[in-house]
Homo-oligomer: A and B are copies of this chain.
C-alpha cells in the first residue's frame, strides 16, 4: 500500500528483511503456536531488529495474517481420466499440507480465535480452501461427464464433508490404518 503507491524519498524498506520476517513467523507458528511466539523471537530468528517489525505491523495478528496470506501453493487439479485416481491425488496433496506442523497450528489458531477474530478463518478460507473447493468441483464435473457419478451430486457439500473427516482424522488419527486410507474409505461413503 503505502510502500508502492507513491515513490517515497529516503531508503526503501528491505524486501529481504520482509521475506525473512514472514519466513521466521511461519516457522515459529509451526513450532510453538500463535500464543507462544513473541515478536522478539521472530526478530531474532529473522535476523532483523525488533524495530523493523514494529515499523511494519501494529500487532502479532497482523503479522501472522500477512505471513499466512503469503503462502502461495499451487492448487492441483488432477485429470487422470478416472475419478478414483483423481481423488487419490487430491487426498495425497491435502495430507501433505494439513498434517504438517504449520497446518495443524494454523487450524488451532483459527479455532481458538474464531469467536473474537474471524480474520484468520477468512484468510484460510479464501487462500486455501476456496481454490481447492473449486478444483474439486471441476474434478467432479468431469466425472459426471464420464457418467461415473450421478449428475445431481453436490460437490460443495461433499468437499466440506471430506474436509471435515480430514480435520477429524488430524486430531484423532486412526489406529488401525493410515490417514489417507481412512479418508479414502470415508469418502467412498459420500460418493
Q: Chain A contact residues (Cβ within 8 angstroms of B): what range?
A: 35 or more
Taking the nearest CB of chain B, how far is it from the CB of A28, in angstroms? 13
Of B104, B107, B112, B164, the residue contacting A165 (CB under 8 A) is B164
Copies of this chain present in the complex amount to 2
Q: Is the CB of A163 within 8 A of B168?
A: yes
Given contact pairs A164-B166, A164-B167, A165-B164, A158 touches B189 in the complex (Cβ within 8 A) = yes
Bound Cα distance A159, B163 (Å): 15
Bound Cα distance A104, B169 (Å): 17
Q: 0/1 per residue, A10-41, Cβ < 8 Å to B?
A: 00000000000000000000000111100000
Flag whether A110 is at the interface (Cβ < 8 A): yes
Bound Cα distance A69, B190 (Å): 34
24 contacts between A and B (CB under 8 A): A33-B35, A33-B112, A34-B112, A35-B35, A35-B112, A104-B115, A107-B111, A111-B111, A111-B171, A114-B170, A114-B171, A121-B171, A121-B172, A129-B172, A157-B185, A160-B165, A160-B168, A161-B168, A163-B168, A164-B164, A164-B166, A164-B167, A164-B169, A167-B171
Inter-chain pairs besides A160-B168, A161-B165, A164-B167, 15 sampled, C-beta below 8 Å: A33-B35, A33-B112, A35-B35, A35-B112, A104-B111, A108-B112, A111-B111, A121-B172, A158-B189, A164-B164, A164-B166, A164-B168, A164-B169, A167-B171, A189-B189
